[in-house]
Amino acid sequence: MIDQVESVRDKAIISLFADSGLRLNELAAIKSQDIAWDNRLIKVRCKGNKEALAVFGKKTGIYLRQWLNEYNPKDGCIWGTNWYGIEEMLKQLKAKTGLPCNAHTFRRTFASILAKRGVDSLHIMRLGRWESISMVERYTRSVRFEDSLKLYSPIVD
Asked if residue 89 lies in contact with residue 97, where contact means CB atoms within 8 angstroms, the answer is no
Domain of residue 122, CATH code = 1.10.443.10
Q: Is residue 123 part of a domain?
A: yes
Q: Is residue 9 part of a domain?
A: yes
Q: Is residue 156 part of a domain?
A: no
- Report in angstroms the alpha-carbon separations of 68 from 30, 124, 140, 156: 12, 29, 33, 52
Q: What is the pLDDT of residues 8-46, one digit of tens each?
A: 999 999 999 999 999 999 999 999 999 999 999 999 998
- Checking 32-38 for CB contacts under 8 A at 24+ apart, the result is 32/68, 32/73, 32/75, 32/78, 35/64, 37/61, 37/65
**Domain total in the chain:** 1
Q: What is the pLDDT of residues 97-134, one digit of tens each?
A: 999 899 999 999 899 889 888 899 999 999 999 989 98
Which residue range forms the structural domain that includes residue 78?
2-151
Q: Is residue 140 part of a domain?
A: yes
Burial of 81 (0-12, 13-18, 19+ CB in 10 A): middle
The answer to pTM > 0.75 is yes
CA distance 61 to 40: 7
